[in-house]
Structure 1
């Protein structure tokens, strides 16, 4: 049975000795353990000039056996690595059948420092300890792109935006394939009100990730916000339409932004003169309000009423009056114009 597979990632081995050993073992296990039923050839993925493995992005129809063999050997290779990660998916018409995340978990000091720091990033009150562990990982291996990215995240959490930007730049300079680094740097640019740069980084985050990953949709939503700030409404509409139409699983954090994105989509469509579509977006936003949508209900009724008025549809006055009753401050003026 053939199934769609996506595999991407990168592993760094740090020195000639580890690199030579992993290349030798890859060749041996490919032939003797997996009978050459592997999705990658040695010369396609190993790069001696930097002692690393780079899978770019593989997308293809494969057998479950080939996928399992490939994931098994990549997991084995990760034992020799000191940084990086690999993800593999089996999918069927957009449904994830299997997902595997691989990263180094050996007893090497640099790996241990990184893993400890990574676990402490979101632990309450442990951010300074996280920075200490991640810094130790960087001191052991100064090309540890993931450690720079995680340390940047902690600096962002601590509102040390200059330090966060420095570390994100360093991470991307070492490894330009990690979407989290672009996503994080984009958030720093938003803080600095550099919306053009932020939009570029969020765009890169979508290009370096896939639609099966949470970060892909987080980046799409924030990219749309940047386009709105820049009054680039067609670009914002493109991102918001994709986000609004996406069916997220209940455990996907993006689901908590769904009604907010639909409201934003409605506002953008009004700016573009597409008022009938805007009404549909506001309808959706009012039906099922999601967790992180803090938009006042009065505001949604107001703009739906405005869209109805511009589209020549019934119900505009009713919506505007509802907005007024709910306390929308601009309702009086528009109601007077409509009556």
Structure 2
């Protein structure tokens, strides 16, 4: 039905005629339908921008990953550029997206709206060709486009959230956690959307919820546990940065400073700048009422003293170990 509607719009438009399509859908499946319908209609997308359309009060009252904006897509009835190979289009797409993402970031577009706006921007490049094919002659459709767009947008977002310097120093699981909090907050998310975000971080989500980590499956939804949802006995020997951070916050809340310093010394994260940068970045993505943010801010307020104590503890332990041998 959407394809028929767009085809009819294309038919009645005069040459170079313009149409504006307003769309708001938070699932990738919905966007695949829209993009494929636009491509099949013959309309050429020339611009796409997010516009705030939802009341903040309504968004805060919903325990879901709601969008704050709708995407306004401008399309025209013009001639397309013919057939292109995806290897060339992908290079053009990456350059165009990075320019557009920088502007979106500067204008304060964040979370799910950032990814949705990235999809809208990608159509500007992809949609101007009559067909896009890979080297084997297969026609590239929206699913492949969206997979690459999400990876480009994910890499850009993580660099910005962590202020560039530490993006390459963190693991895939830490990338997922930071992006999830920035994108969804504490909301539970339909499995397919969660899976695609994890995939953009190089992870297979279906292998993670059985590992007793912070990923939980609740029927058809996925949510990531915060420190307030976990117990110290479940975090006996943490190795992943987020697990160490969660245990640190629980020890800080329980006033177990000796154990906290020992944990940061043993894990090596006490001297790791990326550890504190990740903690700060997560705090910046959460609302002031969020329990996790309050724990993070309390711990971070004394970070310099904790860092010094963990360094001294590590030096002391190393000396004792040296004498032992």
* TM-score normalised by length of structure 2: 0.34
What is the TM-score with the length of structure 1 in the denominator?
0.33
Higher relative contact order (CA 8 A, sep 6+): 2
